[in-house]
Amino acid sequence: MSTTIANGTATLTVGAAATILATITTQGAHAILIDTSGMASGDTVKVTKRERISATGTWAVTESTLTGAQTPPRAESDSLDIVPQGGTLEYSIQQTAGTGRSFTWAVARA
């Protein structure tokens, strides 16, 4: 069973700075789901995950790029993202091409 710990809608502007969706410091296994059903041909969106294992640790960054209409119409974590005690996990989204879109998202803890 999972518990939603953060959710919302991000309205993006093409070329604007990345929008931080969630910053998580709660220990556990987490995953993000993003509804990409509004994406169309010509749209490009970058989803970024930043994580560190301690408050003063170095950030590890993973980026995914989504282009055009998505099938199935959602993006999700490839695996569970683990936050150790004292660690931080951050998800962000940025639209780099196409028409500005809104994306509904949720972060769940397993």
pTM listed for this prediction: 0.93
What is the reported pLDDT for 14?
A: 98
CA distance 92 to 21: 5
* pLDDT tens per residue across all 110 residues of the chain: 689 999 999 999 999 999 999 999 999 999 999 999 999 999 999 999 999 999 899 999 999 999 999 999 888 887 899 999 999 999 999 999 999 999 999 999 98
What is the reported pLDDT for 1?
A: 65
SS3 50: strand
Contacts of 21 (CB under 8 A, 6+ apart): 6, 8, 10, 32, 91, 92, 93, 105, 107
Q: Domains in the chain, please, with CATH?
A: 3-109 (2.60.120.660)
Where is 8: in which H helix or E strand?
strand 3-11
What is the reported pLDDT for 66?
A: 96
What is the reported pLDDT for 84?
A: 93
What is the reported pLDDT for 110?
A: 87
What is the reported pLDDT for 65?
A: 96
Where is 48: in which H helix or E strand?
strand 44-52
Output the CA torsion 49→33→94→104 (10° steps): -150
